[in-house]
Copies of this chain bind each other. A is one copy, B any other.
Amino acid sequence: MDFTKMTGAELLHEKEALDGRYAAFQARKLNLDMTRGKPCAEQLALSNPMLDILNSQSDFRSPDGPDYRNYGMGNGLPEVRGIFARMMGVDAGHVILGGNSSLNMMFDTVACGMTHGFAGCRPWAGQSGLKFLCPSPGYDRHFLVTDYFGFEPVVIPMTEDGPDMDAVEEAVKDPAVKGIWCVPKYQNPTGVVFSDETVRRFAHLKPAAEDFRIFWDNAYCVHDLTDTPCRLLSLWDECASAGTLESVFFFASTSKITFPGAGLAALACGDENYRELRKRFGVQIISPDKLNEFRHLLFLKDFDGVLAQMKRHRAIIAPKFQAVEDVLDRELSGKHVASWSNPKGGYFISVDVMRGCARRVVSLCSAAGVKLTPAGATYPRGNDPHDANIRVAPTCPSVAELKQAMELFCVAVQIAAAEKLLG
């Protein structure tokens, strides 16, 4: 029944029943952590064969001669660059391999802008009033990076087609706006895949700042949950046609393909940026960890191997997403207390509860033993203006745990809504 159409008495009656259910949850003493998008133990085990894929009998000589166990090969293994090029839809000759973290490469790229600048412009550190576009809800760690470097965040609303491009095109008229964070496929947390039109509008963006840069974090480029993967139009190709390749940095990693924290990361960019960043990384480090690259190469083999690995992940996590959506449908449909995403990939389900209720919901769940991502975390500086968005991360708990946690969550959503409507 629609909460917004209930009388006060009906709401009170409903809330009494919900309070009873909530008390029952408290008695169960749950202890579940759903704060981050972490793979579960079964997913980690998928990559266990990689652990001892190298041994003293391995052939460590690269085709060019250097021994993978020694110094040298500043940009790592060409074969690995090739796999990332396929994953990211970019040219392999423009891929730079990093360590175990694409976040680290994004941070370093922003840091490069700060001290050395892009496009021959004065370094960002020497400019004032810096701003960065933050499509929201979005990924908290992105926002923390630009926050750390002193950028004022500009919230851009997320739509079904990606960031609100009217808002983006308007915002980039300000020369103090230096970039935008994007997760173009299965966005964190909305699950949105940027539409063809959105991608084309990014390729044809005309920012006032010459040193404006799109940070295209394709974190979930192969992380499909269905038989019919969503297709993301290639920003690389669109920019190449439009002559705007220098305006984009492309990122990806294997963190949610092999091991989080022990995977590989890469970035790609146009000629000029590539030269600037290769120079920087050449000063910063002698080479990335080539043994971990070699492990990945032997384990994944090629792009088809990546896709095969992702099918194994999907078999484990798709039922978890289904379980969450089933509970949300069953408990909340038609009640007008929340709306939620049905993502076709990625790691999150995004729930918008009644305005002003997100913090209360997270707090109720926490008091009953289920930790959720803090309300507001999906907005810059933790400030969700509507206090409405909650990111649900279904991958780590078991299906049985998820059912319990989501039932509690739905009870909390309704209690918070009833409290709000009762005033």
Asked whether A335 is an interface residue with its Cβ less than 8 Å from the other chain, the reply is no
Asked whether A285 is an interface residue with its Cβ less than 8 Å from the other chain, the reply is yes
Asked whether A303 is an interface residue with its Cβ less than 8 Å from the other chain, the reply is no
The distance from the CB of A98 to the nearest CB of chain B, in whole angstroms, is 9
Contact B289 A144 (CB under 8 A): no
Asked whether A314 is an interface residue with its Cβ less than 8 Å from the other chain, the reply is no
- Which of A48-56, A242-250, A410-418 contacts its partner? A48-56
Most buried by B among A55, A56, A67, A262: A262
Asked whether A228 is an interface residue with its Cβ less than 8 Å from the other chain, the reply is no
The distance from the CB of A308 to the nearest CB of chain B, in whole angstroms, is 19
Contact B283 A70 (CB under 8 A): no
Q: Which residue of B45, B71, B115, B290 is within 8 Å of A115 (Cβ)?
A: B115
Contact A262 B285 (CB under 8 A): no
Q: Could you say which residues of chain B place their CB within 8 Å of the CB of A38? A: 70-72
Q: Which residue of B51, B123, B261 is within 8 Å of A290 (Cβ)?
A: B261
Q: Which residue of B41, B54, B262 is within 8 Å of A51 (Cβ)?
A: B54
Q: How many protomers of this protein does the assembly include? A: 2
The distance from the CB of A330 to the nearest CB of chain B, in whole angstroms, is 31
Interface residues of A in 101-140 (CB under 8 A from B): 101, 103-104, 107-108, 111, 114-115, 123, 125-126
Contact A101 B52 (CB under 8 A): no
The distance from the CB of A379 to the nearest CB of chain B, in whole angstroms, is 17
Contact A114 B107 (CB under 8 A): no
Q: Could you say which residues of chain B place their CB within 8 Å of the CB of A280? A: 148
Asked whether A189 is an interface residue with its Cβ less than 8 Å from the other chain, the reply is no
Q: Could you say which residues of chain B place their CB within 8 Å of the CB of A190? A: none
9 smallest beta-carbon distances between A and B, as pairs: A52-B52, A48-B56, A262-B291, A125-B125, A107-B284, A52-B55, A51-B54, A44-B69, A71-B260
